[in-house]
Amino acid sequence: MAIKAILEKAVAGQRISAEEGLQLLESHDLAAIGAAADAVSRRLHPEPYRTYNVDRNINYTNVCTAVCDFCAFYRGPKSDEGYVLPREVLLEKIRETAALGGNQILLQGGLHPAYKLDWYEQMLSDIKGEFPEINVHGFSPPELYHFTKVNKLPLRTVLERLKAAGLGSIPGGGAEILVDRVRSEITRGKVMTDDWLEVMRVWHELGGISTATMMFGHVETLAERIEHLERLRQLQDETGGFTAFICWTFQPEHTEMADVPAAGSFEYLKTQAVSRLYLDNFPNIQSSWVTQGLKIGQLAMLFGANDMGSLMIEENVVAEAGTVHFLTLRQIREAIEELGFQPRQRDVHYRLVDDQLEQRAIAANLAREQGQGERLVEISVG
């Protein structure tokens, strides 16, 4: 009965407490929690459509001074496997994204020890000079905090300069769990909780928007998951600058934490649903099909998510951990349609794109999908 009362409270639009959030995470009544999250999602989004974005994850470097036990992507500064994308390669990736109807790139890298702020300003200037219509969703809080240390500059100055150079919004990467005990256990040389939040706070004060994330299912307790959500909810109360929340399960394969049992789809769906109920001031929740696969990613749309996330033309970080779920635009749109909603392409502000642009993206991605199929036939016959 206690769980039922908490769910009724959340569905009615009342704020639930940390203690109540923890009770929900401790519960195994997935159906009831999911139904409540779906009810909240439909109350916040009564429109007949559900959204997605077309963008590309571009990792401009994998060189990183931080040591994260959960990351299979990074390489140390002295590694022979470290890279920095040549500028012409970076711009070509963006060109391909724009041709497929993309309106955004997710630009992230490691904590590179060598480059000063003017290098990043020039990179942004080069991108915006050639692609003024493309939003650069770039540089996670750990990177931005790192820039302040390398350049010995105040955080506000760093953010102001990058914004002036063309940074459009900030992704929520590097949050993992916003509890210092957890962060100290799984990473070294990386931003801690208060400074991660301060990056977002100052960016919001400058008029910027960002997303928030949570990677769970490793060394954190259920209470620490709620503490993470509480810190985000408090900052959103203060600034209102978060557009969306995305959570996903830790992918242990090929990492230093490979012995940690992977959290399954039950835990993913329950945690996302509780997040929808707890983050009452977040307008949007994204599904994480890239870690969960098509069917669980689709089911997440009935567990509190109102957005299927990105087409993700390219993704490297999760793929390095052995998780390789790739969907076509057709599959994303069909997944939304199967749930009885109209699929619509959006931008970073969750505004629907122009119908002509959306149709152009659909046609371009279908041609790409058919072309890849033809090449696979050629390879198999050959």
CATH of the domain at 345: 3.20.20.70
Domains of the chain: total: 1
Identify the pLDDT of residue 65.
83
**Is residue 141 one of the residues assigned to a domain?**
yes
Token couple for 185: 């256990």
**Is residue 8 one of the residues assigned to a domain?**
no
**Nearest to 167, CA basis, from 135, 142, 193, 197:** 135
Domain containing residue 343:
17-377
**Is residue 5 one of the residues assigned to a domain?**
no
Identify the pLDDT of residue 79.
86
**Is residue 337 one of the residues assigned to a domain?**
yes
| Residue 184 DSSP code | H
Contact residues for 363 (Cβ-Cβ < 8 A; gap 6+):
none
Rounded CA separation 350/339 (Å): 20
Token couple for 338: 């199967």
Identify the pLDDT of residue 314.
67
Give 10-residue mean pLDDT values along the chain (382 residues).
Answer: 93 98 98 98 98 93 81 79 93 95 93 93 98 97 96 98 98 96 92 97 98 96 98 98 96 82 93 98 95 94 96 62 71 97 97 95 92 47 40
Rounded CA separation 30/271 (Å): 10
Residue 326, Cβ neighbours under 10 Å: how many? 14
Identify the pLDDT of residue 71.
79
Tokens 């307008």: give the residue: 283
> Which residues on neighbouring strands pair with residue 286, listed in sequence order?
246, 307
Contact residues for 171 (Cβ-Cβ < 8 A; gap 6+):
106, 108, 137, 138, 139, 140, 210, 211, 213
Rounded CA separation 197/212 (Å): 10
Identify the pLDDT of residue 291.
87
Identify the pLDDT of residue 316.
56
**Is residue 62 one of the residues assigned to a domain?**
yes
- The pTM of this model reads 0.92
